[in-house]
Structure 1
């Protein structure tokens, strides 16, 4: 199924999100600014774009594996959620988990954005939930 994603460029250095290969889930997001992310610190990076999501969808902002592997840079609130009604500039919170400062450059691919459907649920308060084999076993409870 195909949807239209409207993108508005609001800065002269902004680029349209880019799908590197046909069939890729993510659209690359690009920085419009140069910024140093110091080791152990986070920075908010501007993309210079606004989007209008298709009805019933969200955008998830996720890390790029190359930045994670080469520089220990990741999206701090991964995946960041952009709600359908948001019309502000897309900004990405990047954190440097490495031991050295990393320079983010203009036009650098900084994250990827995945458009996903959103289920709308009706909440039903109850005193009883169905039984499962797992029950309330949490972290590490499967023994694997």
Structure 2
């Protein structure tokens, strides 16, 4: 199933998200550090994330999702393995009624400062359909025998 997602770019040099393979579930999203500054990528801007710190990184992308869909932002496995770069709030949820610029909280859990440059693929996005719940207050729940952390053991 393909879902039509409208995307507004903050500047002409911002790239639309791209799936890297035909069967990929997630599409790559790039950093955009321009904050309204429209210089070409030939003059790269960068942000350093020191060890143990996090930075809010722009993407230059505004998404308009259909009702009952969300955009989930997730870390890229290569950045996590090689450099210890992850998303602090993964998976981040972008609701269908949020149309401001999507920004990513990148965290450096690695052992060296990490440099984010314009156009670097910093996370992946996954479009998911959302199921809405109806909540009912009750006095009792059906007993399941489960409870607390580690209640099922480790083996």
Q: CA deviation at 1:11?
A: 2.0
Q: How many residues align?
A: 142
Name 1:19's counterpart in structure 2.
Answer: 19
The answer on 1:135 being equivalent to 2:146 is yes
Q: CA deviation at 1:12?
A: 3.2
Gaps of 5+ in 2: 34-45
Contact map agreement 1:13 1:48 (CA 8 A) in 2: no
Q: TM-score, normalised by structure 1?
A: 0.94
Structure 1 residues without counterparts, runs of 5 or longer: none
Deviation string, structure 1 residues 110-140 (Cα, Å, up to 9, x no partner): 00011111111111001111122x422x322
Pair 1:55-2:67 in alignment: yes
Aligned residue among 35, 44, 48 for 1:36: 48
Aligned structure 1 segments of 4 or more residues deviating by more than 2 angstroms: none
Any conservation in 1 of the 2:86–2:108 contact (CA below 8 Å)? yes
- Residue 99 of structure 1: CA displacement? 1.9
Alignment of 1:54-93 (within 5 A): 54-93=66-105
CA RMSD across the alignment = 1.0
